[in-house]
Amino acid sequence: MPIGITALGAYTPERVLTNTDLEGMFETSDEWIVSRTGIRERHLSADGEFASDMGVRAVRDLQDRYPDVLDGVDLVVCATSSPDAYFPSTAALVAGQVGLAGAGALDVSVACSGFVYALSVAQGMIMGGTARKVLVLGAEVLSKIVDWQDRTTCILFGDGAGAAIVEDVPDGYGFQSFVLGADSAGGSSLYKFAVADRIPGVPVGTGNAMLGMNGREVFKFAVRVLGDSGEQALGKAGLKGSDIDWLIPHQANVRIIESACSRFGVSLDKTVINLDRYGNTSTASVPLALREALDDGRVKDGDQLLLVAFGGGLSWGASAMRWYGGRTETKRAAPAALVAR
C-alpha cells in the first residue's frame, strides 16, 4: 500500500506582531521589511507557551476536524528547532498530553527542513514495519530563541504548529518521492548553539547564544537547493514542473519562493504563500500553508503537490505527493488565524 498524509491540523497563537509594531522597537520600516521578505506580520507565543503546548493545540485542531484520528497511532515524530528540552523529547511531551503515552516518540532536528524530514521518517517506519500509523508534528516557538536586538533576524520569524497523520492510503495517492540533504560546511550561516559553544566557521567565544544567521549566504543557498531538490524529487517520481497542481514551499522569503517558481515553471497562482501573515515558522510553515490551502478549497483530492524546504544544517528536503482527500472532515470553521485575508 502507498503511504501518505490522511489528516492535517494546525495552530497559531493569538498574539500578532506587525511591522508597524517593530517600527516602535528599533529602526526599521514596513516598506523595508516587505520589500525584502514579503512579511507583514507574525504570530508570537505567550510567555508560558512552548513548542509542546503548540503541538498539543495543533493535535486538538486535528481531533476537532477528524474526531477518531488518533486511534491506532503508535509513533509520534516531532520536527522542531525550539524544543522544550533536550529530553524528554517534545514528541513525548505532546504524546503524553493527547492520550498517546506509551507510543514511540522522537524529535527531528533539521531546522526548517524538519517537517519534510519527519514525513520521510514516518514513511520509512511504516514501510519497515516499526509503526502502522504516525502522528507527525512541526512545532516552533522561534520568538523565544531569536535575538530581539538583531533587527536583521527577529523580523523574520513567527510561532506555530502543524499536526499530520501519516498512514496507508489508496493506490494512486500519497508520497511519490523524497529528497533529503545536508551540508555542514554552511552551518555557520544559520545556527543555534546548545551544549557546545563552537560551530565550524564561527570563532570560539564570539557566537550569540540566540539564533545566528548570515542572511546573504542563506538566501543564495536557499535559491539553489529549493530548485535542485524540487527537480530531483519530481524526477524520482517521473514528473515534471508542468505536472504540479500546487507548490507548497517553506515560507521564509517571498523572493526565494519566486525564484523556485521560476525554476519549476510554476506560476505564483499555483504556489501557496502565506508568509505575509505568519513569517518564517520553520518546521510549522509547510503544514500551516497546506492546511490553509485545504481550508479555502485550493488543494483538492488527487492534486499533485510538491513540498520543498530548506533550513539550518544547512539542510534541504523535498517531496512529491498526490493529495489524499478521502478522510471525511468534520464541518467547522477554520481557526481565525488561518483564514486567508
| Radius of gyration, alpha carbons of the chain | 19
| Active-site hit among 43, 78, 154, 250 | 250
Going by DSSP bridges, is the β-strand pair 75-79/134-141 parallel, antiparallel, or unpaired?
Answer: parallel
Active site residue 43: no
Q: For 202, which DSSP code?
A: B
CA distance 273 to 286: 10
27: left (phi > 0), else alpha (psi -120 to 50), else beta?
beta
Cis peptide before 314 (omega within 30 of 0): yes
CA distance 52 to 92: 9
Going by DSSP bridges, is the β-strand pair 41-44/104-108 parallel, antiparallel, or unpaired?
Answer: unpaired
In what helix (H) or strand (E) does residue 287 lie, and over which residues does it extend? helix 285-295
Active site residue 253: no
| Active-site hit among 19, 253, 274, 280 | 280
| Active-site hit among 19, 43, 112, 253 | 112
Set of cell numbers at residue 251? 515560507
Distances (CA, A) of 113 to 35, 39, 265: 25, 20, 22
Would you please indicate which residues are annotated as catalytic (active-site) residues? 112, 250, 280
